[in-house]
Amino acid sequence: MSSRPAARSHQAAVIRKNLENLFLYIVLVLVAVITVFPFVWVFFTSFKGVTDPIYSVPPQLIPNAPTIDNYLRVWQQLPVWRFYINSIFVTLTIVVLNALFSSLAAYPLAKMRFRGREAFFFLLLATYIVPPVLTSIPSFVLAVKVFDYYDKIRSVIFPYLAGVLSIFLMRQAFKGVPDDLLDAGRIDGASELRIWWEIVMPVVRPSLATVAIITFVEQWNNFFWPSLMLHTREHMTLQVGLVALQGAFANDARGIAAGVVMTVVPMIVFFALLQQQFVRGLTGAVKG
């Protein structure tokens, strides 16, 4: 007698769970559609030939006669592969060196006592609020008149080799490392550099990953400064090249679409493969 109400309530719970899941799936699909729709549209547009209308009512998504003409046209006119290589080179260099320099700088701020430590730290923190665009005018003058690297790739690397956010995050991470580890190393007579490299750095690897990812996303998307510096096609990074593409194909929406697809798809594939690492890296932001 007592089993039937229990079975019924169990059934009710299962149904409620399923409804809940359905509701969640609907929400997820809705958000996914909104998120992905522009890419889908651009993707299909890039395959439309000149006779396939892209502006029509009712709108036509799928091309009638798909063609890769647009891709060929863009490929011939713009060095898209160079945009990629430049972006990859710039971003990787910055990610590695920024992590390196910031970790170096954060170590004494977290683990050493010396004159002016607090002053340094607050000075650094204060520079965080300086908007990048503010520094662009004098940096432009510097680039042109002092360092002579206008229109050269290193002009978009040097300014980003140290970042206050990275230093701050690494300092937080270092603070979490127990002093005993360091003392043990010091007793053994190791230099601070060795302690830093061999003892402390491995411990804070998750935070390093976080810093790397934040820097990566920031630099990959960086447009303002590179657009001021890089004007020869072969030197452009991806974002600057994209704008050049939009200008070069201003009355050719299909060409623009092809160019956008060419620049976006490889990144999506890359990310899809490394998805786990990305999420794990961002998890580090919490612990840091």
Is the Cβ–Cβ distance between 66 and 261 less than 8 Å?
no
Which of 74, 80, 156, 167 lies at the binding interface for another protein (CB under 8 A)? 167
Site string for another protein, 31-50 (x = CB under 8 A): xx-xxx-xx-xx--x----x
- Whole-angstrom Cα distance, residue 228 to residue 150? 9
- Whole-angstrom Cα distance, residue 144 to residue 152? 11
Nearer to another protein, 85 or 120 (CB): 120
Number of residues near another protein (by CB under 8 A): 118
Footprint of another protein on 172-211 (CB under 8 A): 192-193, 196-197, 202
Nearer to another protein, 1 or 141 (CB): 141
66 Rama class: left (phi>0) / alpha (psi -120 to 50) / beta:
beta
Structure tokens belonging to residue 102: 């910031």
Q: How far is the CB of 35 from another protein (least distance, A)?
A: 6
Q: How far is the CB of 252 from another protein (least distance, A)?
A: 6
Nearer to another protein, 3 or 207 (CB): 207
Decide: is 19 part of the binding site for another protein (CB under 8 A). Answer: no
Decide: is 67 part of the binding site for another protein (CB under 8 A). Answer: no
Which of 164, 177, 199, 203 lies at the binding interface for another protein (CB under 8 A)? 164
DSSP codes joined into one string, 199-255: IIHHHTHHHHHHHHHHHHHHHHT--HHHHHH--SGGG--HHHHHHHHHHHTTT-HHH
Positive or negative torsion for Cα 53, 59, 65, 67: positive
Footprint of another protein on 232-271 (CB under 8 A): 232, 238-239, 242-244, 246-248, 250-253, 256-257, 260, 263-264, 267-268, 271
Q: How far is the CB of 1 from another protein (least distance, A)?
A: 27
Which residue, 89, 51, 83, is CA-closest to 260? 83
Decide: is 138 part of the binding site for another protein (CB under 8 A). Answer: yes
Footprint of another protein on 83-112 (CB under 8 A): 92-93, 96-97, 100-102, 104-105, 107-109, 112
Decide: is 220 part of the binding site for another protein (CB under 8 A). Answer: yes
Nearer to another protein, 164 or 177 (CB): 164
Decide: is 278 part of the binding site for another protein (CB under 8 A). Answer: yes
Q: How far is the CB of 8 from another protein (least distance, A)?
A: 21
- Whole-angstrom Cα distance, residue 258 to residue 46? 4
